[in-house]
């Protein structure tokens, strides 16, 4: 566990696996690692980068030889060379079943989205708050699995740029998703850069009704506004044709919105509902929906769309 956590610092899992297997086969115990020559140590690490990690591993192994064993508390593990807050908590929880959880990029993202954190996750105050949230939710009977589950969730589902909210096991409790902020959280304040993103929205009609969803009334953005559903929201939608596209900007995000006509092959789900076209003039509708109506040459005061059945 210790070796894998050190190797995974700033390195992808797929790159680490072959190194991990070779390294562990050559140095199956900390005693053998402590006794290795530096040249052999670095040869086994060659290509993995950040070589101070290998040197710190050996320094820690030599400390263990002096101590007579691997430290078994989070505080003692933290004292090892090359071990920070996150690594200490990870080893403590996975290897020793201690109720500790540290923050890495994946866990920060999961916690920030789950709590709809509006602050800068790079600041000490916000990271401390997210740390407390993660710590309070820990499964004390199996903290290691809890920690690894958060990591896996962030690595495979709660992705930085394209979160797979549909497949998330906690999507019903996710504050960011409920508020439509999963693409903008976590917030990291810094030099503003233009972010380009492509989004697909669906135009699904049933007679004189169109399928829409309403943002929660406590949403931090566009509270109570009505929106067209996106492709990931409607799992039973069948795309019929493209109706056009347009640009839409929010702060430093520039979106390319693609409007597609679709039909349902099943239910509309819990988030969406049918709204009469002649009701749109009475409802708060988002700019994206308004631009879509303009693209379709649909006047909300009329009941039909020109060119769209």
CA nearest to 22, candidates 45, 54, 53: 45
Distance between CA atoms of 97 and 117, rounded to whole angstroms? Answer: 29
For residue 103, what are the CA distances in angstroms to 13, 35, 131, 246, 288?
Answer: 17, 33, 7, 39, 36
Q: Is the dihedral of CA 273, 277, 283, 285 positive or negative?
A: positive
Q: Measured in Å, how far apart are the chain's first and last C-alpha atoms?
A: 59
Assess whether 208 carries a catalytic annotation: no
Element (H or E) spanning 18, and its range? helix 13-26
For residue 72, what are the CA distances in angstroms to 77, 80, 92, 304?
Answer: 7, 12, 7, 70
Catalytic residue among 5, 117, 227, 261: 5
Would you please indicate which residues are annotated as catalytic (active-site) residues?
5
């Amino acid at each position: 566990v210790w070796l894998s956590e050190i190797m995974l610092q700033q390195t992808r899992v797929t790159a680490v696996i072959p190194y991990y297997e070779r390294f562990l086969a050559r140095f199956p115990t900390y005693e053998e690692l402590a006794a290795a020559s530096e040249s052999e140590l670095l040869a086994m690490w060659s290509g993995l980068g950040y070589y101070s990690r290998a040197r710190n591993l050996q320094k820690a192994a030599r400390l263990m030889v002096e101590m007579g064993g691997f430290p078994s508390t989070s505080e003692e593990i933290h004292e090892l060379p090359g071990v920070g807050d996150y690594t200490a908590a990870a080893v403590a929880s996975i290897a020793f079943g201690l109720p500790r959880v540290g923050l890495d990029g994946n866990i920060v993202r999961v916690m920030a989205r789950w709590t709809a954190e509006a602050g800068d996750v790079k600041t000490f105050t916000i990271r401390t708050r997210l740390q407390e949230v993660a710590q309070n939710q820990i499964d004390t009977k199996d903290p290691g699995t809890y920690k690894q589950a958060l990591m896996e969730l962030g690595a495979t589902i709660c992705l930085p740029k394209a979160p797979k909210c549909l497949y998330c096991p906690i999507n019903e409790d996710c504050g960011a998703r409920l508020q439509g902020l999963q693409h903008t959280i976590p917030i990291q304040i810094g030099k503003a850069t233009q972010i380009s993103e492509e989004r697909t929205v669906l135009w699904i009609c049933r007679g004189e009704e169109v399928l829409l969803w309403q943002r929660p009334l406590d949403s931090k953005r566009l509270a109570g506004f009505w929106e067209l559903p996106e492709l990931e929201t409607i799992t039973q939608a069948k795309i019929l044709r493209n109706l056009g596209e347009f640009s839409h900007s929010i702060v430093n995000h520039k979106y390319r919105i693609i409007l597609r006509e679709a039909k349902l092959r099943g239910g509309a789900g819990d988030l969406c509902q049918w709204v009469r076209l002649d009701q749109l003039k009475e409802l708060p509708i988002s700019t994206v929906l308004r631009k879509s109506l303009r693209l379709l040459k649909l006047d909300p005061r009329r009941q039909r769309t020109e060119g769209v059945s």
